[in-house]
């Protein structure tokens, strides 16, 4: 998913950065309010950030100029909501660009938009939709993490297709080419990420339910008692 340094045309890089900035500001305010009201959640937020950092650092070669990997943002979206994951994802992507040459500074805005904005918001939307159907927490978390992961890669495919439309067929041909190549590695990765996220959430609920009270993921248990 990480688009590498210097790969996007300057206008596209600046455009995605401009689109991402309002979400980043909103996310910082959201985290600030939440931690001010619940300072005990700092450690839990650190766990969500570490989970996203570790999973998204496991990259596999894929589309030229990008790569495939888990995103890890579904866990944080389930715990804190999608807005909080925007600054968390920004920090994760910034450190990876600086310390691991994974992604880049010029493409940071595009990578933030796909992994730290679209991914968490889709994950959270799926989480609430599945919970509204009365399904279990495990099913909701699995689908949220898996579909959020895939949504990130669909977004990256859109970004690459906009920047590099096909000579014949334009955006649509380019999009299906990028998305098709991504799908070869990303579908099994998304399923694996969904399963891992379920294991982590269930372990947290089992051993630390008191600290998780009032978080989005705990309201799923209120709808259906079984995990």
Q: What b/e string do you get for 201-215 counting C-beta neighbours within 10 Å, with b at 16 or more?
A: beebbeeeeeebeeb
Q: Are 196 and 187 in contact (CB under 8 A)?
A: no
For the stretch 133-157, pLDDT in tens is 988 889 999 999 999 999 999 999 9
For the stretch 113-130, pLDDT in tens is 999 999 999 999 999 999
For the stretch 170-220, pLDDT in tens is 999 999 988 888 887 888 899 999 999 999 998 888 877 777 776 766 666
What domains, with CATH codes, occur in the chain?
Answer: 8-216 (1.10.1760.20)
């Amino acid at each position: 998913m990480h688009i590498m340094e210097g790969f996007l045309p300057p206008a596209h890089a600046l455009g995605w950065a401009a689109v991402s900035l309002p979400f980043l500001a909103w996310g910082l305010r959201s985290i600030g309010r939440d931690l001010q009201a619940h300072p005990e959640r700092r450690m839990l937020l650190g766990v969500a950030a570490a989970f996203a950092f570790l999973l998204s650092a496991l990259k596999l070669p894929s589309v030229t100029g990008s790569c495939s990997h888990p995103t890890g943002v579904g866990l944080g979206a389930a715990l804190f909501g999608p807005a909080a994951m925007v600054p968390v994802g920004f920090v994760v992507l910034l450190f990876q660009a600086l310390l691991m040459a994974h992604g880049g500074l010029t493409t940071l805005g595009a990578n933030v938009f796909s992994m730290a904005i679209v991914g968490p918001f889709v994950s959270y939307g799926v989480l609430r939709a599945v919970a509204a159907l009365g399904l279990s927490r495990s099913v909701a978390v699995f689908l949220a993490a898996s579909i959020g992961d895939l949504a990130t890669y669909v977004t990256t495919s859109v970004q690459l297709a906009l920047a590099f439309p096909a000579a014949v067929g334009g955006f649509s041909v380019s999009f299906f080419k990028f998305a098709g190549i991504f799908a070869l590695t990303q579908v099994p990765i998304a399923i694996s990420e969904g399963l891992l996220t379920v294991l982590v959430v269930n372990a947290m609920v089992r051993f630390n339910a008191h600290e998780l009270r009032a978080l989005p993921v705990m309201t799923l248990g209120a709808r259906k008692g079984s995990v």
